[in-house]
Amino acid sequence: MGSVSVHNHTISDNMRHSWIHPRKFAMWAGIVVMSMAFAGLTSAYLVRKGAGNWTEFVLPTQFAYSAIIMLMSSVSIWAASWAFRNDKLAFYRLFLFVTLALSMGFMYSQYLGWQRMKEIGIYIDGNPSGSFVYVISYLHVVHVAMGILCIFLTFVRSLWLFRNPAVFLIYRTDGNKRINIELLATYWHFVDVLWLYLLVFFMFS
């Protein structure tokens, strides 16, 4: 009987360790869907390019600058997640704010890139080469904007909900709440990697 009890206990432990939080599963499922959508768009880009009537142009450097900003924000959101896990409330707030500021910088850099495209005569309703860049980058910015909203709400929560450090500690030990920052960081890393992929694709395709 004792061996059976130990065996069952081991099975229970294995199930607990292999269990994936439903929201984490939903996040990864969403990332797969979004990845497939952008893969489809870039495939359509290549197909349309091969059909002819395609204007070649140099991608504005502002888009490369925005990639650098995104990389920096990915580091800062990782730092915020690290600070959260290690009970460093002040650093958690600081790195959330830095991530928020960098994300605003990314959006502004994207805007400057679009403005530069217009200055060199590339419009969304012009040649398909420019139209694809506008549409794909616009869709990416929509996904970034969703992340920015979540970062903003998380930052506001850190100021309001965690005014008492004890509340922060209680919140951090709650698995259902602790996963929020993990999901946010994962999503932000995804939109970062996605933009790097798109940038390299546009530059070398």
User: Residue 4: its pLDDT value, please?
Assistant: 42
User: Residue 14: its pLDDT value, please?
Assistant: 45
Q: For residue 129, give the nearest of 48, 37, 195, 39 by alpha carbon.
A: 48
Return the ∠ at Cα 105 (arms to 107 and 125), rounded to 5°. 25
User: Residue 144: its pLDDT value, please?
Assistant: 97
Q: What's the predicted TM-score (pTM) here?
A: 0.86
User: Residue 3: its pLDDT value, please?
Assistant: 42
Alpha carbons within 13 A on the beta-carbon side of 102: 23
What is the helix (H) or strand (E) element at residue 167, kind and residue range?
Answer: helix 165-172
Tens of each residue's pLDDT in the chain, 205 residues: 444 444 444 434 444 445 778 888 999 999 999 999 999 999 999 999 999 899 999 999 999 999 999 999 999 999 999 998 888 888 999 999 999 999 999 999 999 999 999 999 999 999 999 999 999 999 999 999 999 999 999 999 888 877 777 777 777 777 677 788 899 999 999 999 999 999 999 999 8
User: Residue 98: its pLDDT value, please?
Assistant: 98
